[in-house]
Amino acid sequence: MPMGHTATAQAGSGGLTATEHRLANGLRVVLSEDHLTPVAAVCLWYDVGSRHEVKGRTGLAHLFEHLMFQGSKQVSGNGHFELVQGAGGSLNGTTSFERTNYFETMPTHQLELALWLEADRMGSLLAALDEESMENQRDVVKNERRQRYDNVPYGTAFERLTALSYPEGHPYHHTPIGSMADLDAATLDDARAFFRTYYAPNNAVLSVVGDIDSARTLAWIEKYFGSISSHDGKQPPRDGSLPENIGRELREVIEEEVPARALMAAYRLPHDGTRECDAVDIALTILGGGESSRLHNRLVRRDQTAVAAGFGLLRLAGAPSLGWLDVKTSGGVEVPQIESAVDEELARFAEEGPTPEEMERAQAQLEREWLDRLSTVAGRADELCRYAVLFGDPQLALTAVDRVLGVTADEVRAIAKARLRPDNRAVLVYEPVSADPQAESAQDDQTDAEDGADQ
Amino acid sequence: MTDAAEPLTTMEFHPQPQPGEAQPWAFPAPDRGTLPNGLTVLRCHRPGQQVVAVEVSLDAPLDTEPEGLDGVATIMARALSEGTDKRSAEEFAAELERCGATLDAHADHAGVRVSLEVPVSRLLKALGLLAEALRAPAFADSEIERLVRNRLDEIPHEMANPGRRAAKELYKQLFPAELRISRPRLGTEETVSRIDSAAVRAFFEAHVRPATATAVVVGDLAGVDVDAVLAETLGDWSGDSGAPRPVPAISGDDSGRVVIVDRPGAVQTQLLIGRVGADRHDRVWPAQVLGTYCLGGTLTSRLDRVLREEKGYTYGVRAFGQVLRSAADGAGASLLGISGSVDTPNTGPALDDLWKVLRTLAADGLTDAERDVAVQNLVGVAPLKYETAASVAGTLADQVEQHLPDDYQAQLYVRLAETGTVEATAAVVNAFPEGRLVTVLVGDAAQIEEPVRALGIGEVTVVSG
């Protein structure tokens, strides 16, 4: 086997190990054996996301991801889905700012099929791509946009805050779903050019995790992927760097038909992959992660001014990460009251830092979340690809939890003081309009009907 | 390089590979036992699963809520983690998170479920907290008042969500008003505002005791003395014995009709089409699972093949069978449904196509190939689906709540593999007869009412959103 490079296994957290390999065409491969359950996960990350899109073609990376399920040279129509599901596998693809991923989890004895399918579309998608698929998936994606964003209260908050946080022209100014106008404008030629530019073995990382024989798996990968030619059409994404702090508060008030006032904000935070990013993760967990967080205790338990209050972290490697504040107000409470309470809590935290108990709780929560991610072969495969694509080293996935546990209280306080400030955020305020609040006696119910979120 | 003249395919192609030999896999069989306090315990060792899942099922179904107090089971479930005889609400939450644990509780038609997830290294501590919550919840006035207010605040958010709004309307349409199942699980503004700590405590005392509860513990238990851990925690919970509870008869009206919940300006129509189905004990269940998958289980099923992949009307439409209540004598019921969102201008054409799919299915039946792929998927994905402790624990606890034997899921896979095309066809055609479906549409009535009326799928009424 003409393998370019083979690294040996090294110890990782929880006894997990991964080996790295590279085909002559540049495809990077990461393998990790685990024989506890007869399943194997295949995960393929292409180093292309919405940050690579150009003005007038937002949403193209995600629309293209849909087209990857429309057949290739040896796979007809929906054959990719049909073959994987018919083999007892599950599959999907997703698109973010920074990458597009495709994954299949298979019963062990069907692993080779998933590799064959991924190779077929990496090498020969354009043999099957046609106007009919393009028109159909354009409509599907527009309905995805309506269902997930446009027809949901507060549904466009993420898009609006992102646009506020990253200036016009910045590669992260728009979100992966794209605009309706740009989705309408995309052409078959755009899709073909996109494939020729970004879908190459040397722009991808393939990981296979689970009940596998590494040597045999590597031989299959060489057989199916090895003859796909590499190419170098890709330009680096536009520069995503920005000053550490915004320097002033950005603000937008939305008057819309929403059920309650809301205060949302995005804080500009350190890039993923840095120690400061892990530190701010802990800070946000203490401030707004879960039922013992400072904001929950203050706004939901004590002041009782909010229905829910929390912080999330959107980790980004190619641009500043975003710290996501979301507070929905209770009853007739006004936003300024919430906002001053939030600012007070953040200022206090910046001055005093976390207590030892808070550090322990936040680190325990983050550790469990990490164990959850690693509890499935698919989760592990995705993390190995993530670290390989974004940071050049899949082994970092195996030690990520140790890095979070190594952060000190001083580091947490320092990053909070530097970044969690009013002049470093974009704020979105929702004020409900019209509505006839007495539509009828308010009730609710639910079914566990699964909406079609397959792609 | 983007030379237009380059050949489209340059790689070396190989024929589709054949599968290797399948590895045996079976849904895990739990060990069942009873603690001295009467608590039933199911335990299951899953090697490698470092996050242990514990599900406690309490025999407190929604139909036991007192008249006019819909939602008291939910408030009680939420209040379990809001302080005990030893800890305030904030202290309890802090201790739990210190274990790296999550604790969720919710009330449903079948009973109250409390779900704990925790790294195995901190299982003892977290189970101790769970036991404390079950044994001696504080139900402080101030905490209950807060939970009630919080719940009232949630209601407008749920009403604004098209999917939730559709479900509320469907249950109201399908079931008679006197049945608890017709009304929102979490209560209405009117009923929730009546709930106080006395009502919560009374409900707790009437329905929560170890003798009628079951705990399911799943994870990598190799290094754990489970007996000792249980004795020290849940074993310390006491209570009197409880009597078995009959499941009330459930009737429904599924005469074909359409209800539009008006949402002026909505860019999509949320659709939820349903009727009342059989108890999960019914022999038809495996065939119905199979047939329903063929109709709308995935994007290559019949509905999405047309509505999504041919027409582009939707991001996805799914058909499903959901257990509402299940009784050993088969007196329970399920909801058979089809749900999804379609864009507003195509609402009429999408429903027209949906009905055509149902008619074609009834006329021509499923194909053998369809049936085979469905079986291979439903049975084949089992080892993937049950990789985590939480998924195994959830299914075991569902079986308990639904009065099914511990090997139900394992047997279901055997039945699915035995089910033929004819049986699966009959089951799904009976499950979704075109004239006996209640259709709820949450969307812009001004735009969709006339096209929907023209389809002739039942009388159309419009209600406000």
Q: Helix %, strand %, coil % for chain A, to 5?
A: 45, 20, 35
Q: Report the residue from A39, A258, A442 with minimal CB separation from B188.
A: A442
Same domain, yes or no, for A221 and A255? no
pLDDT class for A255, splitting at 50, 70, 90?
A: very high
Within 426-455 of B, beta carbons closer than 8 Å to A belong to none
B51 close to A368: Cβ distance less than 8 angstroms? yes
User: Å from A8 to nearest chain B CA?
Assistant: 23
Same domain, yes or no, for A210 and A117? yes
**Residues in chain B within 8 Å Cβ distance of A193:** 2
Q: How far apart are CA A445 and CA B107, in angstroms?
A: 12
Residues in chain A: 455
B300 close to B369: Cβ distance less than 8 angstroms? no
| DSSP sequence for B128-143 | HHHHHHHH-B---HHH
pLDDT for residue B9: 54
Task: Inspect the interface and report whether the beta carbons of A307 and B153 lie closer than 8 Å.
Answer: yes
**Residues in chain A within 8 Å Cβ distance of B463:** 440
Integer angstrom CA distances of residue B397 from B109, B394, B401, B410: 14, 5, 6, 14
In a domain, A236, yes or no: no
Is A65 an active-site residue? yes
Measured CA angle at A448 (ends B414, B30), to 5 deg: 40
Which residues are CB-neighbours of A347 under 8 A, at least 6 positions away?
Answer: none
Q: For residue A437, is pLDDT > 50?
A: no
A329 close to A260: Cβ distance less than 8 angstroms? yes
In a domain, A438, yes or no: no
Average pLDDT, chain A: 92
Closest by Cα among A99, A148, A54 to A316 = A99
In a domain, A233, yes or no: no
Number of other residues whose CB lies within 10 A of the CB of residue B1 = 8
Task: Inspect the interface and report whether the beta carbons of B376 and A151 lie closer than 8 Å.
Answer: no
Evaluate whether ipTM surpasses 0.90: yes
Q: For residue A454, is pLDDT > 80?
A: no
| Domain edge (last residue) among A170, A191, A225 | A225
Which residues are CB-neighbours of B147 under 8 A, at least 6 positions away?
Answer: B75, B78, B79, B82
B59 close to B398: Cβ distance less than 8 angstroms? no
Q: Pick from A118, A120, A143, A198 the residue to mutate for testing the B interface (most B CBs within 10 Å).
A: A143
Q: Report the residue from A36, A229, A260 with minimal CB separation from B156.
A: A260
pLDDT for residue A333: 96
Catalytic residue among A65, A104, A276, A411: A65
**Residues in chain A within 8 Å Cβ distance of B168:** 443-445
In a domain, A12, yes or no: yes
Same domain, yes or no, for A394 and A318? yes
Closest by Cα among B340, B339, B343, B323 to B331 = B323
What are the strands of the beta sheet with A321-329, ordered from one edge?
A250-256, A425-432, A262-269, A321-329, A306-314
The two structure tokens encoding residue A364: 């325990």
Fold equal for B31-236 and B257-464? yes
Q: For residue A2, is pLDDT > 70?
A: no
In a domain, A328, yes or no: yes
Task: Inspect the interface and report whether the beta carbons of A86 and B377 lie closer than 8 Å.
Answer: yes
A70 close to A77: Cβ distance less than 8 angstroms? yes
Same domain, yes or no, for A281 and A385? yes
Mean pLDDT of A395-420: 97
B104 touching A (Cβ < 8 Å): no
Measured CA angle at A270 (ends A266, A274), to 5 deg: 145
**Count: domains in chain A:** 2
Q: Report the residue from A74, A439, A452 with minimal CB separation from B315.
A: A452
Measured CA angle at A107 (ends A105, A110), to 5 deg: 95
Span A150-196, pLDDT tens digits: 999 999 999 999 999 999 999 999 999 999 999 999 999 999 999 99
Number of other residues whose CB lies within 10 A of the CB of residue A191 = 21
Low-confidence ranges of chain B (pLDDT < 50): 1-5, 7-8
In a domain, A305, yes or no: yes
Task: Inspect the interface and report whether the beta carbons of A451 and B316 lie closer than 8 Å.
Answer: yes
Strands B213-219, B40-45: pairing kind: parallel
Span B53-85, pLDDT tens digits: 999 999 999 999 999 999 999 999 999 999 999
Measured CA angle at A418 (ends A415, A424), to 5 deg: 120
Same domain, yes or no, for A117 and A255? no
Same domain, yes or no, for A282 and A213? no
CATH fold label, B31-236: Cytochrome Bc1 Complex; Chain A, domain 1 (3.30.830)
Q: How far apart are CA B121 and CA A403, in angstroms?
A: 19
B296 close to A434: Cβ distance less than 8 angstroms? no
Same domain, yes or no, for A340 and A396? yes
Domain ranges across chain B: 31-236, 257-464
| DSSP sequence for A271-332 | PTTSHHHHHHHHHHHHHHSSTTSHHIIIIIIIS--EEEEEEEEE--SSS-EEEEEEEEEPTT
Same domain, yes or no, for A94 and A209? yes
pLDDT for residue A14: 59
- Strands (E) located in A85-226: 90-95, 100-107, 204-210
| DSSP sequence for A334-401 | -HHHHHHHHHHHHHHHHHH---HHHHHHHHHHHHHHHHHHHTSHHHHHHHHHHHHHHHS-GGGGGGHH
Q: Report the residue from A78, A106, A136 with minimal CB separation from B300.
A: A78
Beta bridge partners of A23: A3
Q: For residue A445, is pLDDT > 60?
A: no
User: Å from A82 to nearest chain B CA?
Assistant: 7
| Domain edge (last residue) among A185, A208, A225 | A225
For domain B257-464, which CATH number applies: 3.75.10.10, 3.40.50.300, 3.40.50.1820, 3.30.830.10? 3.30.830.10
Closest by Cα among B190, B171, B167, B166 to B182 = B171
Q: For residue A441, is pLDDT > 50?
A: no
Could you list the residue range(s) of the whole structural domain that residue A10 is in? 3-225
Q: How far apart are CA B430 and CA A299, in angstroms?
A: 51
Residue A359 maps to which CATH number? 3.30.830.10
B138 touching A (Cβ < 8 Å): no
Strands A39-46, A19-23: pairing kind: unpaired
Task: Inspect the interface and report whether the beta carbons of B11 and A290 lie closer than 8 Å.
Answer: no
Same domain, yes or no, for A221 and A261? no
User: Å from A4 to nearest chain B CA?
Assistant: 19
User: Å from B142 to nearest chain A CA?
Assistant: 10
Q: How far apart are CA A172 and CA A150, in angstroms?
A: 20
pLDDT for residue B315: 97
Same domain, yes or no, for A214 and A319? no
Same domain, yes or no, for A262 and A219? no
pLDDT for residue B243: 79
The alpha-carbon radius of gyration of chain B (Å, integer) is 25
User: Å from B250 to nearest chain A CA?
Assistant: 18
Same domain, yes or no, for A269 and A170? no
* pTM across the whole model: 0.94
